[in-house]
Structure 1
Amino acid sequence: MDERWLTVEDICGYLNVSNETVYKWIEQRNMPAHRVGRRWMFKQGEVDGWVRSGGAADKSASPDAQGTKGE
């Protein structure tokens, strides 16, 4: 059976994040998403793989990202 397409709202609930976060991830972190007309749609397996590979990791949590290295 094929995996069903998920909406932004579905992904927000699945990942427990806001829709603002999802749109930022699409634009800035190459979150796997597909345009269908005016809507963004997702395959859960693609999103799971992206999360596992570190795509959704909080980049500001590392010392390098905070700009404190070398001070």
Structure 2
Amino acid sequence: MDRDIEKWVNLEEIAEHMGLSKDTIRNYIKKQQIPYHKIGKQYKFKISEIDAWIESGKSASIAN
């Protein structure tokens, strides 16, 4: 059953997953453009949410 629970990943891991810098991810967070969860002082992500966000096309609408 535990293998059905998705692991939370940190900023560094999501940046690597997306092929972006940590600073770019921080900018997305600051502008609330990326799905994230704040747990204490840390930002956490679920890869399934990030992949769905990318597939939805919402990531393409981000202006740098």
| TM-score in terms of structure 1 length | 0.73
Higher-strand-fraction structure: 1
**Could you tell me the percent identity over the aligned residues?**
30
- The higher relative CO (CA closer than 8 Å, separation ≥ 6) is in 2
Rounded Cα–Cα distance in structure 2 between residues aligned with 1:6 and 1:21: 16
Residue ranges of structure 1 left out of the alignment (5+ in a row): 61-71
**1:48 and 2:51 equivalent?**
yes
Residue ranges of structure 2 left out of the alignment (5+ in a row): none
Higher-helix-fraction structure: 2
Rounded Cα–Cα distance in structure 1 between residues aligned with 2:34 and 2:43: 11
| TM-score in terms of structure 2 length | 0.80
State how many pairs are aligned. 60
Computing the radius of gyration from Cα coordinates, the structure with the larger value is 1
**1:4 and 2:7 equivalent?**
yes
